[in-house]
Amino acid sequence: MSGVRRLVQRIGWALNGIGYTVKTQPNMQIHLTAAVLAVLLCLYLRMPARELAVVLVTIFMVLAAEMFNTALEAAVDLYTRKRHPLARAAKDVAAGAVLLTALNALVVAYLLIWPRFYEVIIK
Ligand SMILES: Nc1ncnc2c1ncn2[C@@H]1O[C@H](COP(=O)(O)OP(=O)(O)OP(=O)(O)O)[C@@H](O)[C@H]1O
């Protein structure tokens, strides 16, 4: 198979992974909705490019963390459906990583979006 066809196939598999996460994970749907609203708000507020870049990095960290969490849940469930302390630890740690990225997103929103929102809309 040619290199380009192989690349296109790999991109297709990766898109499948994104689609699977969006379809099966309500949290991902919430993250995506919040992400789209946040980006639209940043554009409306004419946020400087560097600040917008920080917001985008923050958003993609949350989305990527949710996808790693989903992948890990699937792998653990494939391995065992029985209750096991290590299965619990693996899932809780992955969920904790998502929580950290979400908390970071709140901090970034407070530091970068809120002051501009206050300046442009409220004041
Ligand atoms: N095999 C298991 N053994 C022990 N505890 C488990 C096991 N599977 C799940 N748990 C516990 O239940 C929690 C929820 O796991 P579950 O697989 O239902 O994820 P979830 O609630 O569907 O997460 P998400 O909402 O991200 O999809 C885990 O964080 C873990 O504490």
Q: Provide the ipTM.
A: 0.91
Sequence ranges of the domains in the chain: 3-122
Q: DSSP assignment of 39-97, as one string?
A: HHHHHHTT--HHHHHHHHHHHHHHHHHHHHHHHHHHHHHHH--S--HHHHHHHHHHHHH
- Which ligand 1 atom sits nearest the alpha carbon of residue 98? 26
Ligand 1 neighbourhood includes 79 CB (under 6 angstroms): no
34 C-alpha to ligand 1 centroid (Å): 24
Q: Check pocket membership of 75 for ligand 1, CB cut-off 6 A.
A: no
Query: Which pTM does this prediction carry?
Result: 0.93
Q: Which helix (H) or strand (E) holds 28?
A: helix 26-44
pLDDT tens-digit map of 12-64: 999 999 999 999 999 999 999 999 999 999 999 999 999 999 999 999 999 99
Residues 7, 59: Cα–Cα separation, whole Å: 26
- Mark whether 66 is an active-site residue: yes
The CATH T-level fold of domain 3-122 is Helix Hairpins (1.10.287)
Q: How far apart are CA 64 and CA 21, in angstroms?
A: 10
